[in-house]
Structures are given as structure tokens and as C-alpha cells.
Structure 1
């Protein structure tokens, strides 16, 4: 399918699509005292001082609930992430304990659903690009992890949501992480995952990319429960729009629609539509 439109109408169209998918966003590592946080790293060393030479008092599991008592010590840089140490309080074996951990091992966000804890964390920054990871924990046991390249750069915000199965058979939850990159090459959208209770699969990026004055792309995963979805069959519709501006300022789009099914480990291409 092809259509012609102006660049202005293109930007409006992409903006409308993405704004319809409202999600609460946050800045990275907003550390506040007397606030609740969650451990993202597994078997984190808790020390008696805010540095790597402090004595290890104990270790805590991913998903452990923490209270931030203080931001303490100099910042430590690990894998491109430069953040301070924090003093935390937590329960372990029924006893209240305190100590210091590096705040880069805190979860950016945490959502509890269906007996699982869904954690979002930042694992590294390379050349200004943020690599993030989704982890799933149940009763202190780390069940699944999936790292991915967010493509977002310094200064952006993130969002995190766990949405139920959206009508996909044999799936427990659709998970989406929102990021954006503001620049002449501008993109905004979601990294999308499927969780079936055992397998965590990254299925790709959903959103729009605009290279102003040149080209654009938009990818939508339409789940069975959503408008335009295949609810009776339980199929996932993947809609891809690619566009290029011509020499007189009009923009020509190519729209491709495909149907996908879940095979227990990944989405599998079924047919073109």
C-alpha cells in the first residue's frame, strides 16, 4: 500500500499515534532519601562504608525492598554509569539491617504482578547509548533476564509497564519500556517483550523514527485485544510504515502488514496481509 503526504502531516500522524499510548516517564537515578527502592543486581554486596574497600556485611537478592537512608560517598563509575553510593535499610531473615551499596545496582523501576516482580535496570552506557535490562524475580529467585540496546542517549527519560497478555494465547504479560531520542534523527517508542511465565522474549521496537527532511519509519505491534488486532485468532499484527520525501517536498509511504504467532519462545512469521 502506498500514500503521499506532507512532512507536517507525517509528524502529526506519528505524534498522535505515540501520544495515544500514554505512559508515566521518569529521569534516570532520581535518588531520594526516605524513599523505597528495589535491588536490581543479584547478590549485591552490602558494605560498612560507601566505597569498594568497605567490609562486606552481607549480600542481597534482586527484588529486595530497600529504604534509602542517605546518599553518601563519592560517585563511582562502572560500565559508563557514574552514580553515588547510598545507605540503605532492609529486612533479611526477619531482622532489620543497614549498609552501603552502589546506586547503579538499584532498579530503575519495579512492577509487581501475578506473583512476579518485573524489574527494569540500566546495565551499561557505551558511547552515550543506554543498554537496559528487564529482569523477572519470584520469591527472591531470578527467573529470567533480557538485555537490549535502547538507542536512547543522555538526557532522555524512560517508562515501564506490564500489560497482561493483550489477548495473545499462552502469554502472561506484554512488557513495554519507553525511551526516546530528541535530535534531527528523532525516535520515540517502546522496546517490547513477551513473558509466558518461563520465557522472556524481546520482540522489537514499536514506535516512530524521523530523519527530518529525508525519511521516516513507524512500527506498530497490534495485539489481539487492540483496535485492528486479530482477537479471534490470537494473532499479533506487525505494521511497518517506511517513507521517503521526494524532490518536490511530498512524502511517499509504503505500508507492510504481517501476521505473527507465538511458538512458546518467540514470535513466528505466519503470513502477509
Structure 2
């Protein structure tokens, strides 16, 4: 009997160890088959097989369009980014080729407007110190690039939280929000879609071929227990004022007696046509 219990214990230990060591892909890197995508990183290696030791067949630069042919089961995690390998096809000149690329090098989203391509992707992981707990945490860095053909015009980068918490992302082009000299506004959002996991909104102004990142917004909540919401009121929004955007924050937390305690704050950023300053 003792031998049986020992064997069962060993099997359970192996099972949970395997579970802990299993690598999963982040949801933001889930790309549909038979759909076009674009390369985000400066150069992406195309391999003969879906693994890092396979022969390098080619290299693709930023903004190269590819077609997703097949999502492979294998997942590679680099830093805080975990992504599947994808079989792709692409065209260079008159030649159409196929190969495998790592999904973490592809755009999370991309848009085209007025002859410019705008690319949104997660490019790397950095070590960020948590001053409150005196610890070092792995942090994802996302970026937005403005391209004119194959030429990089400008790029900006910002934090997006831990990789395993990111399951959803959007990237949209909005109006200029009636901000002087602004051609258009980009909005990148990443979210974990789970209670207690923050989502991040990054607004970026585009003017004179320059990208200007506004202070990042963060929203988080846990059912009816607490929430923290941040937003901008632009000149074209209700309550907006000319040549400015207003930051608004509201948070709520329930105490032990289920009573709501709310807190609100706001601040105004003045826009002079080329930069912003806190009023």
C-alpha cells in the first residue's frame, strides 16, 4: 500500500510540474488563418520550420504584409511575450515565398490613413522596479510606428503590464478631436479581460509626421468590490474646452460594511498646437 501511495504521489507531482512548465500563448498574438498581417519588428526571420533552431530562409522588415496560412501548436516565450509560430506566405517583387515566423513579431493591429501606415505591436520586455515593494517585475513594452511605405517616420513606446495578463487588444484611428494642428488621433488599448487585471488606453496624436503620446490611462475593477476609471474629455466631447484635454479619474471601494467610498479628481492639459502642458 505504501508503494502505491508513493507512486501516486510521484505521478501527481509530475502532473503539476508539467502544468507549471507548460507554455501558453498570450491572447493578443492570436491571428486568424487566411487573413493578412504585417511585420512589426525591425527585422523578422523567416524559418524553414517553426522553431528557433531551424534554418533561416529570409528576413522581413517592418510593414511587410504577410498572409497567415496556418497557426502552429508550438509556443515560444521570450520575456513576457508568448506566441505561437505561424506559417505565412509573402511577396517580394514577383516572387511569392512561404515560411514560418514567430507571432510575437507581428502587429497586434495596424491602420492606414492619408498615405501613412500606423503599426501597433508588443516589441520587448524590460525589468521595471516596483518602488512600493522594492521588487523588480517584468513589464511588456508596446509601440506604435508611423510608416510611409518602408520608411519609418516616427515611433513611440509605452508600458502595457504583464504578458500573461494580456488577452485582448484594439487599435483605432479617431478624429483630431478638434485639437489645433492635429491631423488625427490613434488609440491603442490592451486588456486582460478579467477581474482585477488592468486595461491600458494609450492616446497618440499625429501631427507634422510626429507621434505624440499622451499620459497613459488605466482602468481596473473587481466585480462590485472596487473600480478605478480614467478617461480624457477632448474639445469635441461633451464638457470639453477649446485647445485642451481634461483628465478625469473616478474610483470606488466598498468597506467591511458594504458601504461605497468614492473618490474623484481631474486635471487639465493645455494644447498649444504642438505640445501639451499641465495647467
Shift of residue 79, structure 1, vs aligned partner: 2.2
Cα distance in structure 1, aligned partners of 2:48 and 2:219: 47
Partner in structure 2 of residue 61 of structure 1:
61
How far does the alpha carbon of each residue in 1:9-32 deviate from its partner, in whole angstroms, 9 at most, with x for none? xxxxxxxxxxxxxxxxx9422233
CA gap 1:85/1:187 in 2 versus in 1, 3 angstroms: closer
Shift of residue 67, structure 1, vs aligned partner: 1.0
**Structure 1: runs of 5+ lacking an equivalent:** 1-25
- Which is greater in Rg? 2
Cα distance in structure 2, aligned partners of 1:138 and 1:220: 31
Partner in structure 2 of residue 18 of structure 1:
none
Runs of 4 or more consecutive aligned structure 1 residues displaced over 6 Å after TM superposition: 211-215
Shift of residue 235, structure 1, vs aligned partner: 2.0
The yes-or-no answer on 1:38 pairing with 2:48 is: no
Higher relative contact order (CA 8 A, sep 6+): 1
The yes-or-no answer on 1:147 pairing with 2:171 is: no
Aligned residues: 242
Cα distance in structure 1, aligned partners of 2:100 and 2:124: 21
Partner in structure 1 of residue 104 of structure 2:
104
Partner in structure 1 of residue 78 of structure 2:
78
Does structure 1 retain, via aligned residues, the 8 Å contact 2:252–2:260?
Answer: no
Partner in structure 1 of residue 270 of structure 2:
260
CA gap 1:220/1:42 in 2 versus in 1, 3 angstroms: same
Shift of residue 181, structure 1, vs aligned partner: 4.5
Partner in structure 2 of residue 132 of structure 1:
142
Does structure 1 retain, via aligned residues, the 8 Å contact 2:37–2:107?
Answer: yes
Select the structure that is richer in helix. Answer: 2
Cα distance in structure 1, aligned partners of 2:256 and 2:66: 58
Does structure 2 retain, via aligned residues, the 8 Å contact 1:39–1:66?
Answer: yes
Does structure 2 retain, via aligned residues, the 8 Å contact 1:50–1:73?
Answer: no
Report the 3-state secondary structure (helix = DSSP H, G, I; strand = E; otherwise coil) of the residue aligned with 1:104. Answer: helix
Does structure 2 retain, via aligned residues, the 8 Å contact 1:47–1:58?
Answer: yes
How far does the alpha carbon of each residue in 1:176-208 deviate from its partner, in whole angstroms, 9 at most, with x for none? 122334666454452222222432222123354
The yes-or-no answer on 1:166 pairing with 2:177 is: yes
Report the 3-state secondary structure (helix = DSSP H, G, I; strand = E; otherwise coil) of the residue aligned with 2:203. Answer: strand
Of 191, 207, 216 in structure 2, the residue corresponding to residue 205 of structure 1 is: 216
Partner in structure 2 of residue 116 of structure 1:
116
Of 171, 191, 201 in structure 2, the residue corresponding to residue 180 of structure 1 is: 191
Shift of residue 54, structure 1, vs aligned partner: 3.4
Cα distance in structure 1, aligned partners of 2:60 and 2:191: 32
Cα distance in structure 1, aligned partners of 2:147 and 2:58: 20
Does structure 2 retain, via aligned residues, the 8 Å contact 1:51–1:73?
Answer: no
How large is the Cα RMSD of the aligned pairs? 3.1
Does structure 1 retain, via aligned residues, the 8 Å contact 2:248–2:264?
Answer: no
How far does the alpha carbon of each residue in 1:39-82 deviate from its partner, in whole angstroms, 9 at most, with x for none? 11122222333333433333222111111223347432222323
CA gap 1:224/1:96 in 2 versus in 1, 3 angstroms: same
